[in-house]
Amino acid sequence: MADAHFFNDEPFLDHEEGPDLLGHGQYAQHVISLLDRVRAQTETGVLALIGSWGSGKSSVLGKVTRRLRESENGEGWLVAELNPWLYSDLESLTLALFSEIREALPNDERWSEARQKIGGFGQAISPLGKVTALFGLDSEGLLQEVSNRISGDTSASAAKRKAEEALRKAGRPVLVVMDDLDRLTPEELLVVFKLVRLVGHLPGVYYLISFDERTLLDVLQRSELVGNSEPRAREFLEKIIQVRLDLPAFRERDADLLVERSLAAVLASHSLTLTPGEQQRLSEAYYRHLQARLRTPRAIKRFFGQADATLGQLAGNVDIVDFLLVTFLRTSEPRAYQLLWQHRAELTGTSIDLPSHRDERPEQQIGRWRTRLQEAGVAEQYLDDVIGLLGMLFAPLRQALGYGATTQAIALRRGIGSIDYFDRYMVFGIPDDDLPEHTFDTALQQLADGALGAEAGELLLRLRDDTQRITRRIQYKRAAGTPLPVAALLEAAAQQYGHLTATPQGVFGLFTADRAMDFLARDLLTDLAEPDRPAILKTMAETSDGAVLSARTLQRVARADSDGPDHTQAAPTPDWISEARSLISHEIARHLTPAASQPIHELTELEITLIWAWRHTGPEDVRTWINQRLDEQWTPLDLLAAILPSDRAPFPLIDNDTLQSLDALIGLEGLYSRLGPLLDAPTAAPDSSQDEHRQRILQALREHRARNTGQAT
């Protein structure tokens, strides 16, 4: 079924090279055999193929008509197909019937009389305008037809007798096939039955009609002839139909087989295969939640048709199992599908919970979603299945259902439950602000090879402008065990570090772009062998911004090593850390060379940041450097005013951590000594906001000094 056609509502037909997908081939042969038996016993008759919508009636009819036409011989069946949807009144439908019967007859001398008489009967019982429309008579032909009707035998009964005689003489049966009668209006349906039972009651002409019985009975009960009575509707049908053919049940085995083959066709058409893990997840979803909804050929074909139509560029860029489940929701429960976008943040775990939801128990969360789904029109018998599907897609609901799930695991498979991949499923493609997997992988390979192309350039641009998402995606690769160009990524992070434009994310916007880069650099450095770390940190520190990242990265990794569970007492500093600190310290000193001769007020924000970072790599070096500046041209209070932010609310201006940092940068004892007269002087009223900042610094230092010495402030 690799060449299956999903994008239509045509029936599945069997082919010589393939199996009977729906198991209806044998039944079609049974219908043909029954037609021969009916023909042997009566001159005309009506057979009805009955089955529910989407159960495969059209497939069986298609097999019957194809096989009858392929086996045509001198005595075999002739087939005419009539679509009653195209005709709204009895006259038009009658004329169409005889036109189709006439066209089904062989176009040779033996059949010329039958063709003529059938056409004559159709003309005799139809208004002249309908005849003109059907046969396309021009003005001359129209005049001739009027003349014939005036001068000839215009009796409909006489024309019918002549047609009957011609059909008996021809000796071959004609089967008129009419499908989907249940889709007609009550008035149109009665027109069809009148035609079949009365006007079209001709020798050698048999009818094979098809409908969903429940729907047809409902339609008949809306007609004036039957009224709102199901028994009367059934009696009416029994008068019309001589042979009832109930379509065989579409067994569970048949449905499962069709699902399996349809899935194989979709996968093959997009060059995809399922991993064992994906097979297990899809099997769980199918047997728990989908099987009961995929019970007819039409439902199966519609589902996989939608999957095939929208997979497109998503192949390889999304989790195929998640994609199929989302497609099922979209096609079977479209209003529930719309809830996904509406509650995107909640489902992906990126929302700030409302106060009413923070202490919510799992059963309350599930109950809230049941209410949402009910309001979205999900039938009661399907609620548990839809919630189950949502639980397979989104970690918060899966956890509420009592199953283990993490957002990272979902992200690793590029699932819809990850904020980094959610939009792909909703726009049926890769959004403009996203990076396709192939491009991402190609960029990483280019970085590894040192041959930067367009893909690597795009990745570096996104690393600057969409830092949080790109760093997460690199972390996903890392967690999956994908080999990464660690050194190249660290160098790229250092180059971009001072130019990040991505807006803060997370609760209260605390997860900034530079913080995301800090975490990535820390983790990447640990992936390098220890002897290789100092060299890459030095390379990162060759730019001023890179030196900041390099110093911070080294500090985080060194702290993690010293805080490990095996460190019960102070351990000697590893050689690689000492080497790296020396290299970075040297680079920072080089970057701060211009600042050594500048006034304090001309220090840039980056230079101030470098001064703070220096304390992690060379506290003795930075202390010497600062105190030399204080001895020559800087004043300690101006320095503190420059390097301490004026607004740290709700935190104290100088807390214990800040105090320790000042001790590393300057030395607290030396600082107190240099500021002695100012600290001992009474607090003065500030003259400006700048002066106020200085007065607050002094007051904070007074309090800390007093606390340490036991003096009153």
Q: What is the pLDDT of residue 92?
A: 78
- pLDDT exceeds 50 at position 15: no
pLDDT band at 17 (very low <50, low <70, confident <90, very high): very low
Place of tokens 């640990």: 526
Report the relative pairing of strands 243-246 and 78-81 from DSSP bridges: unpaired
Residue 139 in this model has a pLDDT that exceeds 80? no
What is the mean pLDDT of the segment spanning 557-571? 66
pLDDT of residue 354: 53
Tokens of 430: 């890769």
Q: What is the pLDDT of residue 183?
A: 81
Question: How many percent of the chain have pLDDT more than 90?
Answer: 48
Q: Is the model's pLDDT at 448 over the cut of 90?
A: yes
- Binned at pLDDT 50, 70 and 90, residue 225 comes out as confident
Looking only at Cα atoms, what is the longest distance across the chain? 135
**pLDDT per residue as tens digits for the range 468-483:** 999 999 999 999 999 9
Predicted confidence at residue 179, as pLDDT, reads 87
Tokens of 158: 């006489």
Res 126 pLDDT > 90: no
Assess whether pLDDT exceeds 60 at residue 132. no
- Global pTM reads 0.74
- Which has more pLDDT, 46 or 53? 46
299 against 539, higher pLDDT = 539
Residue 392 has pLDDT above 50, yes or no: yes
pLDDT digits (tens, 9 = 90+) for 79-113: 989 888 777 677 777 778 888 888 888 887 777 77
What pLDDT score does 120 carry? 74
In this predicted structure, the answer to whether residue 6 has a pLDDT above a threshold of 70 is no
- The residue ranking higher by pLDDT, 382 or 62, is 382
* Whole-number Cα distances in Å, 301 to 3, 25, 173, 211, 255: 13, 18, 35, 20, 11
Residue 275: CA count within 13 A, CB half-sphere = 7
106-110, 124-128, 445-449: range with highest mean pLDDT: 445-449
Give the confidence band of 131 by pLDDT, cuts at 50, 70, 90: very low
pLDDT band at 380 (very low <50, low <70, confident <90, very high): very high
Q: Tell me: the pLDDT tens digits for 567-587?
A: 455 678 899 999 999 999 999
How far apart CA 690 and CA 326 sit, in angstroms, is 59
As a whole number, the mean pLDDT across the chain is 85
Task: Please check the confidence at residue 277 and state whether its pLDDT lies above 60.
Answer: yes
| Cβ(184)–Cβ(192) below 8 Å | yes
Higher pLDDT, 605 or 123: 605
State residue 491's pLDDT score.
96
- Cα atoms in the 13 Å half-sphere on the side-chain side of 299: 17
Check pLDDT > 70 for residue 620: yes
171 confidence band (pLDDT: 50, 70, 90): confident
Q: Which of 67-71, 390-394, 440-444, 635-639 is predicted with the least confidence, judged by mean pLDDT? A: 67-71
pLDDT of 611 > 90? The answer is: yes
Mean pLDDT of all residues in 493-521: 88
Lowest mean pLDDT among 179-193, 295-309, 410-424: 179-193
Q: What pLDDT does residue 682 have?
A: 78
Residue 140 has pLDDT above 70, yes or no: no
| Residues making up the chain, counted from first to last | 713
Poorest-pLDDT segment among 244-248, 507-511, 596-600, 641-645: 507-511
Structural contact between residues 616 and 587, judged by C-beta atoms closer than 8 angstroms: no
pLDDT digits (tens, 9 = 90+) for 663-693: 999 999 999 999 988 888 877 776 666 688 8
Q: What is the pLDDT of residue 11?
A: 47
What pLDDT shows up at residue 315? 94
The Cα–Cα gap between 532 and 540 comes to 13
Q: Torsion over CA of 665, 668, 670 and 674, rounded to 10 degrees?
A: 100
Q: Cα–Cα distance between 140 and 336 in angstroms, integer? A: 62
pLDDT (0 to 100) of residue 382: 96
Task: Write out the two tokens for 505.
Answer: 């994310």
Give burial (CB, 10 Å; 0-12/13-18/19+) of 208: buried
177-190: per-residue pLDDT in tens?
A: 988 888 888 888 88
Read off the tokens for 50. 């009955």
Out of 64-78, 82-96, 460-474, 552-566, give the one with best mean pLDDT.
Answer: 460-474
pLDDT at position 9 over 60? no
Query: How many other C-beta atoms are found inside a 10 Å radius of the C-beta of residue 17?
Result: 5
